[in-house]
Structure 1
Amino acid sequence: MADLNSILTPGMIVRHPDHPDWGDGQIQSNIAGRITVNFREAGKVVLDGSRVTLVLVSASD
């Protein structure tokens, strides 16, 4: 799981596969497997990248 999350960088838009109700979220940081995402409906959430693989929606320009 962590390998896919390692490509995530600030600005990328993702979804949480287990919480579609959170809406799209923007990566704020990805440091040592701790991924901070600001989700539209859930606000700022810090995730353990070894426990969940986020779904990439859009890469930043």
Structure 2
Amino acid sequence: MSDLNAIFTPGMQVRHPGQPDWGVGQVQSNIGGRITVNFPDQGKVVIDGNRITLVPVFDA
């Protein structure tokens, strides 16, 4: 898991760098590098933190 992905905790907002059309998602959990995010336009998605580095959103 990338060091940046390790900081994500439930409630934080993120974007998927390869899927900008999904919108800003809210982290539901981050367990063992598997990050569950609820995106408004995609629904609940489990991200493999070893393969994808999510982008934090602080101004949404």
The reply to whether residue 25 of structure 1 matches residue 25 of structure 2 is yes
TM-score, normalising length: structure 2: 0.93
The answer for the alignment partner of 2:56 in structure 1 is 56
Q: Which residue of 1 aligns with 2:44?
A: 44
How many angstroms apart in 2 are the aligned matches of 1:57 and 1:47? 16
CA RMSD of aligned residues (A): 1.4
Q: Distance in 2 between matches of 1:18 and 1:40?
A: 16
Listed as ranges, the gaps of 5+ residues in structure 1 are none
Amino acid at match of 2:9: T
Note the residue ranges of structure 2 that are not aligned, 5 or more in a row: none
What is the aligned-residue identity percentage? Answer: 69
TM-score relative to the length of structure 1: 0.91
Task: In structure 2, give the amino acid aligned to 1:40.
Answer: P
Give the aligned length: 59
Q: Give the superposition deviation at 1:58.
A: 2.3
Whole-Å separation in 1 of the counterparts to 2:58 and 2:13? 5
**Equivalent residue number for residue 12 of structure 2:** 12
